[in-house]
Chain A
């Protein structure tokens, strides 16, 4: 059963800290508990999304700058 990381907020999802930076987490990468995997912009304010459990082989289900709703699956991992 794949683990999921869901968006806690509705808004616009960003995989990178800024347009010129690499993604917080590369596809296929791994995360620890508390690793920041992206940002959600809601009403012009930015909120970090953190992994709540550790995982490997992270696969993002949304693109950089995609709109998301609260509870939307952002990434799956093993």
Chain B
């Protein structure tokens, strides 16, 4: 019998692709594990396959028939003699059925229990769990409103502006924003009538409206009993709800606010008996200085490197150790912030052509040696067209936010991928933009900036 957390001679099956598969294979090898990499038929020559000790096909190019095929992936892991399965992010990473199937097949799922994944994946259940752990949630009516008087009562509690939504709504119909009591009195009957006409149901509910919110998320690590936080990231620069630039720590929080949001996150993680690496996402209204819980991601995230940069902790290695039964090695007082880190996502897309995908062949790669670059690229690699467009993540770490931005500008100027069209030029423009430098951003800022100032390629 080996001791809990003993990794020697164990095999890890990597059930993902791209840069995160590379990241997991490298972390697992450093821990002394044997690695088996899953791949689709279109990914047989990907970097993670080249780095892993062994590789196995899990099906045709389409993700639905390979990386998302639970039976096939579990069977491949079993045949490979895997002790554990790492799901990465995306694909099956937050699929409770997959986690349960991995365990039913006698292997370790690197992540929380299927039960925790299911609970946090359900928005109402997650909201209830947050409320029970005294974590702030978006203020609003509890369920349906009953008439204007009830609406006034909720407005009295949560204040203006607020959003009136059709309970049976969808597609943005039946939504009104009220800024004061008069508007509320006028809009509630209107919204009711519209909801009845559109959905045959006049039921409404109310939520606080935050027009200029920031996206702030807290990284946690738990061992099923105890949890710690690794501070927060700010990911307010988004296009089509995809993050493009992430920072740690957030420059928007006071030390007091940081302490509150991080403590709240640890409360919820411990209440959920959380095991592994997880992230609690919040909306932050920096005028009202209020944050509200959105959801929990029960997996490693794309932007985890900025947290690793400021804390010096290898999140992927920790989640693997915990999965194999080791108790959390870190106490909260062991974790401190050093400096400021920024990650930019480099995608195979042309920002000058409305972000048209560019699945080309990678020529020579030029990346400065002194910055972290998590990537799936190598010279001569044909980028397959079947998956998302993320090619890599450039991560800089400076003493201050301004120093990090300066380092980012220098790094971007020295970075290039021959033969490819990427979003590098977008990041060069962002790193020179006054609102970004001055941290005057919110989750709609990038879309608005792109709309009013059509992006032109600089190279």
Contact = CB atoms under 8 A, between A and B. Distances in A.
Contact of B357 (A42, A65, A67): A42
A67 B42 contact: yes
A43 B62 contact: no
B270 to A, nearest CB: 36
A11 interface: yes
Contacts of B42: 67
Contacts of B423: none
B60 A43 contact: no
Interface stretch (B158-166, B381-389, B437-445, B446-454): B381-389
A77 B31 CA distance: 58
Interface string A30-65: 000000000000111100000000000000000001
B276 interface: no
B97 to A, nearest CB: 21
Nearest to B354: A45
B61 A42 contact: no
A42 B62 CA distance: 11
Nearest to A40: B385
A42 B388 contact: no
A44 B42 CA distance: 15
A3 B23 CA distance: 47
A10 B349 CA distance: 14
B112 interface: no
A43 B61 contact: no
B388 A44 contact: yes
Contact of A44 (B60, B61, B356, B389): B389
Contacts of B386: 11-12, 43, 67
Given A43-B387, A44-B389, A10 B62 contact: no
B283 interface: no
Nearest to A9: B385
B359 A67 contact: no
Contact of B348 (A9, A11, A43, A67): A43
Contacts of A43: 348-349, 357, 359, 385-389
A6 B44 CA distance: 26
B61 A67 contact: yes
30 contacts: A9-B385, A10-B359, A10-B385, A11-B385, A11-B386, A12-B61, A12-B62, A12-B385, A12-B386, A42-B357, A42-B385, A43-B348, A43-B349, A43-B357, A43-B359, A43-B385, A43-B386, A43-B387, A43-B389, A44-B387, A44-B388, A44-B389, A45-B356, A45-B357, A65-B62, A67-B42, A67-B60, A67-B61, A67-B62, A67-B386
Given A10-B385, A45-B356, 12 more contacts: A10-B359, A12-B386, A43-B348, A43-B349, A43-B359, A43-B385, A43-B388, A43-B389, A44-B357, A44-B388, A45-B357, A65-B62
